[in-house]
Amino acid sequence: MTKKILYRGAEAEIRLSEYMGKTVVLKQRVKKAYRIKEIDRHLIAYRTKEEAKLIAEARSYGVSVPLLYDVDLTKGAITMEYLAGSRVKDILNGLEESERKRICFKIGESIARLHNHDIIHGDITTSNMIFLHDRIHLIDFGLGCKNSELEAKGVDLHVLMEAFESTHSKYAHCFDYVIEGYSKKFQGDSSAVVKKIEEIVRRGRYR
């Protein structure tokens, strides 16, 4: 099949492709001409491996993520399940308030499941969430890492708060529903995470 480009970013290209008869998503990291070739190859392989590990680990902890079909470290490519759902970014504003609340609550629960195991997504926005089969699927762990610090968890959620304030400005209050879901599932002190978000806001640490 012709590989349709879904997204072209600075770090990677995302394409629709085919793998063993299935329609899949192929994420291919982009070579950087300004980097020494050996360093570039090493970085691409390392980042590809780390992203695949985070996705697999997230799934093992009950977070809905794409299934991984193939990881090619030499090419810097990850072949994964194509989720034929809707981006939360595209549907959230048009929902009834009760449904918006329910989905935001689910978002919070999913983030808590990551944070319970010190997985930091790194780019939690409603663009990186697919709503399918009544579940929130988190995608694009390219900026993710493992980090147990409260600061990292606060920053992760702060990124989402900013996404609500910009992309969903009429419904910025819905971030409160995210925090409700997060507090229900988070196994640590969720109030400490909320305080950290407030501290980040006070510091004016905007991305």
Q: How confident is the model at residue 135 (pLDDT cuts 50, 70, 90)?
A: very high
Give me the sheet containing 135-138, strands edge to edge.
Answer: 86-87, 129-132, 135-138
Are both 71 and 170 inside the same structural domain? no
Are both 119 and 177 inside the same structural domain? yes
Domain that holds residue 127: 86-203
pLDDT at 50 over 80: yes
Reported as a single tens digit per residue, the pLDDT across 137-174 is 999 999 999 999 999 999 999 999 999 999 999 999 99
Across the chain, mean pLDDT equals 95
pLDDT at 207 over 70: no
pLDDT in the model for residue 77: 97
Structural domains counted in the chain: 2
Residue holding tokens 């600061």?
A: 151
Structure tokens at 106: 């689910």
pLDDT at 2 over 80: no
Are both 52 and 99 inside the same structural domain? no
Catalytic residue among 72, 90, 118, 123: 123
Percent pLDDT > 90 in the chain is: 90
CATH number (domain holding residue 197): 1.10.510.10
CATH number (domain holding residue 69): 3.30.200.20
Task: In whole angstroms, give the CA distance from residue 147 to residue 151.
Answer: 9
Backbone angles phi, psi at 179, to 5 degrees: -65, -35
Are both 61 and 92 inside the same structural domain? no
pLDDT at 55 over 80: yes
Give me the sheet containing 68-72, strands edge to edge.
Answer: 4-8, 12-19, 22-29, 77-81, 68-72
Are both 71 and 108 inside the same structural domain? no
Asked if 174 and 100 touch (Cβ cutoff 8 Å), the reply is: yes
pLDDT in the model for residue 205: 54
Are both 95 and 144 inside the same structural domain? yes
pLDDT at 190 over 80: yes
| Average pLDDT estimate for 9-21 | 92
Are both 63 and 90 inside the same structural domain? no
Tell whether pTM > 0.75: yes
- Regarding beta strands 22-29 and 77-81, do their DSSP bridges make them parallel or antiparallel, or are they unpaired? antiparallel
pLDDT in the model for residue 11: 87
Are both 99 and 156 inside the same structural domain? yes
Are both 151 and 70 inside the same structural domain? no
Structure tokens at 141: 């762990």
Is 134 tagged catalytic?
no
pLDDT in the model for residue 165: 96
Backbone angles phi, psi at 12, to 5 degrees: -155, 160
Task: In whole angstroms, give the CA distance from residue 199 to residue 201.
Answer: 5
Structure tokens at 180: 């409700």
| Average pLDDT estimate for 33-61 | 95
Residues β-bridged to residue 136: 131
Task: In whole angstroms, give the CA distance from residue 73 to residue 29.
Answer: 10
